[in-house]
Amino acid sequence: MSEDNNFAVDFYFAMKAAVTGRVSKDQKRIIEKKKIRSKPFDSGRDPVPAGNTIDSLMHDFRWQSQLEEAELFVRWTEIVGEINAKNSQPETLNNGKLTIRCKSTAWATELRLMQNQILEKIDAAFPELKISNISFIGPDAPSWKKGSRSVPGRGPRDTYG
């Protein structure tokens, strides 16, 4: 295993321990092995600047595209403007298709008319994402289905009149 790879493994276990609040059996085993073999001035004991390995970590864990997507979602206000951003929110990005949830169907229609300009701004700011299509959807309608079983027919609405 290379030094970068050891750093990546150590970083993974450190982040996992930080999130879960406990150290895994694998990490305990690795720590014990390092204590046994660790000697002063051995190779690999020199401090490693984090900046040298960040790019390899980003590549190894495929975080670059996730960070770009997160940055797009955070900078949504800059791309569409403050009023449009208050009434819309990016929801998903899959295979070059960006799905935007709007507060109403009227806002979805308004943004659909601006789709080409929004795509141009996204392509200029985030060319790595390669977004080719934007889907604007309105709010979800309430579901009357409750539970795993349902009866066919109109449901509770048939008693309204």
Structure tokens at 25: 């059996």
Strand pairing report for 97-102 and 133-137: parallel
Supply the pLDDT for residue 161: 47
Can you list the residues of the chain whose pLDDT is less than 50? 1, 161
Name the residue with tokens 């401090």: 47
68-87 pLDDT, tens digit each: 899 999 999 999 999 999 99
Q: Are 126 and 95 in contact (CB under 8 A)?
A: no
DSSP character for 75?
T
Q: Check: CB of residue 64 under 8 Å from CB of residue 128.
A: yes
Residues of the chain with CATH 3.30.300.180: 65-137
CATH architecture type of domain 65-137: 2-Layer Sandwich (3.30)
Q: What is the pLDDT of residue 1?
A: 47
pTM of the predicted model over 0.95? no
Q: What is the pLDDT of residue 135?
A: 95
